Amino acid sequence: MSASSVPPADLAVDVVPLGGLGEFGLNMMAVSCGETTILVDAGSMFPEADLPGVDRVVPSCDYLDQRGPVAALFLTHGHEDHIGAVPYVISRVTGPVYGTPFTHAILDNKLDEHGVDLGDRRREVTPGDSVTVGPFRVEFVRVTHSMPDCVALAIHTPQGVLVHTGDFKIDYTPLDGQPTDLGRLAELGAAGVLALFADSTNIDRPGVTGSESDVKDAFDEVFATTAGKLVVASFASSVYRMQLIVDLAAQFDRQVAFVGRGMVENSEIAQRLGYLRIPAGIAVKDSDVGSLPPSDVVCLVTGSQGEPQAALSRIAIDDHRHISLSPDDTVVFSARAIPGNEKAIGRIVNHLARRGVDVVTEAQRHVHVSGHGSAEELKLVLSLVRPRYLVPVHGEYRQLARHARVARDVTGGSKTPTTVILAENGHRIRFDREGGRVVDSVTAGRVLIDGTRSGEVDSEMIRDRRQLAADGLVVPVVVMNRQKGVREGLPEIVARGFVPEAEAGDVLTDGAAFIAGVIDDCPAGERLDEGLLKERIRGEFRRFLKRRTGRRPMVLPVVMEI
């Protein structure tokens, strides 16, 4: 019986997380039923320190290539960890890309950089809308996060409703007046939800996260006590934080400069779509800052994570074209430190301290609030939705496991306790008449992108870069007589980053003699084959260097024929 003739209730639904489980970032999930596959988000992440030369990490699409074309892509919101991989995934998507207006506006800039035009596949939706793709009906439910226009997804399938929260928190007093639609989540729960895929980011934080408006008092104090220039570093996507700073600037008779490419682009998008309201005369260009009294200016800048090329990094070392700091100025880090960025942020703080400015972080004052719900909020959503199954997503494994324990505590005493499926990237979660379970694993992994070039960075290239960083490079240059098949003189050896120059003399001199002996001992046929000769020199010389120095530099022989 073909898939098209199978009664809908007999069609199994497979859910495969391709990123975002056991890690922060790379959020992407494939949902399949019959011949139809849809994607939920396509996020990226920034590389860790052990990936030299890598600018971006995106999920592997091997599984999608095996399944065939993707019928539609659904985006929950516009953060990099949910849309950053779209330019690399979009070639697999033959159907529409659904997202809210702000999500699409941010995505448009990203796709333009890659020369991608969605054309009529670009579909804007608003909370309350629903669309049908094959056997799926996908409903968009409003949630509150740290940026505008975020949605959860209620995916109606032949097996039941799957609710994917996206990133969310429960803010009863959001700055835009659009709280999470708890009523609709409760209606879905009352009607019956098969599985809840829930954000686990802040599950290990007790209580509730709090409202974006909670930081106003702390910023009120900062504005009131700063005699000079005020610089606020935040995520460029934090439009609500932008609005708060703009409102306070108007209250304290300061003008606002948006500094850094991401901050400028996102503020322009937010203004165009009506999510950011700036009174006339408040906004100035960064080039105007130097001509204004410091006490009349507040700068909203990129670089809250210590990124080397961001605006705050250049300001901190006095390398920005238009903005400099003095001891009367204050710099506020209005963002949490993403795990792994602590060193980079500390470096920036040290540079700022050398300039004599006052540095304010979340540790001193309540200048940041998370966009993710804490434990009590996740418990509330779980109680409202009452899913048959819970699949924790978005977090490292310890967060997923903690979420599982909390779910068992919340629902364990009910008549129909929620069953937790603790999945990992690549697990195929199947829902059919037998229930929900992990049935097998598919290929899932990461693709490393070098943004300065056109292709992917493979594992061999990463290994070579790590070796160069650890042990350096040695280049033996050998001159061979093509007619006679013998070497001409001793080889020359060039070394970079290998051992200190004062210690390299004897090693390289002895190494030249060693290579000469290796060449002389080669059979005549091997000496006349450049490829074979290079491999012999590379292998023998690496072993020689290991014995003499204990290091394994990259050896790149050069054979010149005369």
Annotated catalytic sites, by residue? Answer: 199, 372
Residue with tokens 């954000």: 199
Query: Does residue 87 sit in helix, strand or coil?
Result: helix
**For residue 520, with 0-12 CB atoms within 10 Å meaning exposed, 13-18 middle and 19 or more buried, which class applies?**
exposed
Q: Which two tokens stand for residue 390?
A: 């819970």
Q: Which two tokens stand for residue 147?
A: 């940026």
362: closest CA among 474, 215, 224, 240? 215
**Distance between CA 156 and CA 25 in Å, rounded?**
26
**Distance between CA 373 and CA 185 in Å, rounded?**
15
Between the CA of residue 471 and those of 166, 501, 530, 545, 550, what are the distances in Å? 44, 14, 26, 11, 10
**Distance between CA 254 and CA 403 in Å, rounded?**
44
Residue 552 · residue 468 · CB < 8 Å: no
Query: Does residue 216 sit in helix, strand or coil?
Result: helix
**Distance between CA 240 and CA 261 in Å, rounded?**
18
Which strands sit side by side in the sheet containing 150-157, from one edge to the other? 130-133, 136-143, 150-157, 160-164, 195-199, 389-393, 419-420
**Distance between CA 264 and CA 185 in Å, rounded?**
35
Residue 385 · residue 193 · CB < 8 Å: yes
